[in-house]
Amino acid sequence: MQKPLAYRMRPKKIDEIVGQQDLVGPGKIIQRMVHAKILSSMILYGPPGTGKTSIASAIAGSTKYAFRILNAATDTKKDLQIVAEEAKMSGTVVLLLDEIHRLDKTKQDFLLPLLESGQIILIGATTENPYININPAIRSRTQIFQVNPLSYTDIQKGIERALRDKENGLGNLNVNLEPEAINFLSKSTNGDLRSSLNALELAVKSTAPIDGEINVTLVDVETCLQKKALTQDKAGDAHYNVISALQKSIRGSDVNAALHYAARLIEAGDLNSLTRRLMVIAYEDIGLANPAACARTVTAIQAADRLGLPEGQIPLADSIIELCLSPKSNSGYAAINAAVDEVKSGNYGEIPLAIRDAHYKGAEKLGIVGYKYPHDYPNGWVAQQYLPDKIKDAKYYQPKENSKFENALSKQYKRLNDANKGAKNGN
């Protein structure tokens, strides 16, 4: 039985990996490991289809080590023992352990000494946050790398490579993929190359050739992905235009326009883009003007993810209407951007001595003294300097006063600023 296209197109060398250049690009950490032949165990976490298995197989292929794949949830300790025996004979085995967050204690205890000795180079793959869901004993023996959804151009490169490859891909077939079809295939799987490649193979192999040529249209790809294109635009910008229009409609408090653009995403089956954008909108555009609406948006998104479509559209509609009709504030968004910009510019100094970590012996000798514990003072507040001297008067937060909640924050912010000024002036 022939394996799926996505399986056949897995890279055999680091240089063949599509995307994730911050990890595998020239001079980056994983490429350095491979070239120096100094591998350490690692955990790769990120959404499905973004290259975790590809990175593992490419590491094994580039270093010529044996490569084995197991699943922490379904494979047994005996399966691990077989890999361990192979490692003893061959020297080193690269083991991709999928769903590593589901590794039980028995398997973990068996693996730990093998990781310590280097007989097994463990590459754990997970969609769960490893800092929360993976045992500290495993975490402490691995490096953790986040794998991000692939970009539109990354997926397009992967598709084009599969169409050219005569050994593992579709290069022996005379395929003509319409520009609109490749745009949709590249953008509609939310950064999941595996889904794109498998839909491509289905579209190609289920389309009858005409005069020896397989013409794959946008409609063919829509059918194979079970999603509809938002519009058949040649530039392929419709997806981003709809998301932009959704956010601007909510920011502008137009309920009907926002529901219309949300409906386009729902009709395209793109629940992921819709929920992600709504979470961004809630905290970027409503923010401190109505924090309860932000929290309710997160709850609505969780409900929609559990329900799926079509029922998932109901809690999202409630959230969209509330976000549209809520007062708006981007003060938190603007404040953190201002702080990050200043840090990026290098415009910051040393942390004041009084608020540095002082839990260890010898801290006092280093001058780390003078911290005033706010809980020991009336109202739980006392004037003291927290920012470095160089930027001690920096003000990132500029409150908006168009809601009761942020108006209250604004008044408290002003009171604290005035109190600090008074303390500085000796009043």
Q: How many angstroms separate the CA atoms of 32 and 92, rounded?
A: 19
Cα separation, 36 vs 119, in Å, equals 17
User: What is the average pLDDT value for the chain, to the nearest integer?
Assistant: 86
**Which CATH number does the domain housing residue 207 bear?**
1.10.8.60
Judge if 197 and 315 occupy the same domain: no
State residue 194's pLDDT score: 87
193 contacts 50 by C-beta, under 8 angstroms? yes
CA distance from start to end of the chain: 84
Are residue 211 and residue 294 in the same domain, yes or no? no
221 shares a domain with 263: no
In this structure, the answer to whether residues 139 and 156 fall within a common structural domain is no
Residue 291 preceded by cis peptide, ω within 30: no
Q: Is 331 within the bounds of a domain?
A: no
Domain contains 345:
no
State whether 47 and 139 are in the same domain.
Answer: yes
Same domain, 313 and 356: no
Same domain, 29 and 64: yes
* DSSP 8-class letter at 151: P
Distance separating alpha carbons of residues 254 and 193, to the nearest angstrom: 35
Domain that holds residue 84: 5-146
219 and 184 in a common domain: yes
Residue 62 is predicted with a pLDDT of: 83
Instruction: Answer yes or no: is 288 within a domain.
Output: yes
13 and 141: one domain? yes
Please tell me whether residues 251 and 312 are part of one structural domain.
yes
Examine residue 263 and state whether it is found in any structural domain, yes or no. Answer: yes
Indicate the residue among 122, 146, 170 that finishes a domain.
146
Percent of the chain with pLDDT over 70: 96
pLDDT of residue 1: 64
58: amino acid identity, one letter: A
- Cα separations (Å) of 322 from 243, 277, 296? 18, 15, 9
Q: Tell whether 43 is covered by a domain.
A: yes
Model confidence pLDDT, tens digit, residues 84-100: 888 888 778 888 888 88
If one counts the domains in the chain, the total is: 4
Angle of CA points 47, 50, 51, to nearest 5°:
130
pLDDT at 229 (0 to 100):
55
Residues whose CB falls within 8 Å of the CB of residue 208, separated by 6 or more in sequence, listed in order? 214
DSSP 427: -
- Residue 138 corresponds to which tokens in the numbers above? 């495993």
332 is a domain residue: no
pTM for the full predicted model: 0.57
Residue that terminates a domain, selected from 181, 204, 225: 225
Of residues 70, 81, 131, the one with CA closest to residue 103? 70
Residue 374 belongs to domain with CATH number: 1.10.3710.10
Q: If 0-12 CB within 10 Å is exposed, 13-18 middle and 19+ buried, where does residue 230 land?
A: buried
Distances, alpha carbon 314 to alpha carbons 23, 180, 259, 357, 400, in Å = 39, 31, 11, 49, 31
CATH number at residue 134: 3.40.50.300
The structure tokens listed for 366 are: 């280093």
Q: Are residues 137 and 217 in the same domain?
A: no
State residue 421's pLDDT score. 80
Output the pLDDT for position 339.
92
Q: Write down the number of H helices and E strands in the chain.
A: 19, 7
Residues of the chain short of pLDDT 50, as ranges, are 231-236
Residue 20 covered by a domain: yes
For residue 366, the model assigns a pLDDT of 75
Query: Residues 380, 263: one domain?
Result: no
Cβ atoms 215, 207 nearer than 8 A? yes
Closest CA to 236 of 317, 313, 159, 147: 159
The answer to whether residue 337 sits within a structural domain is no
pLDDT at 98: 87
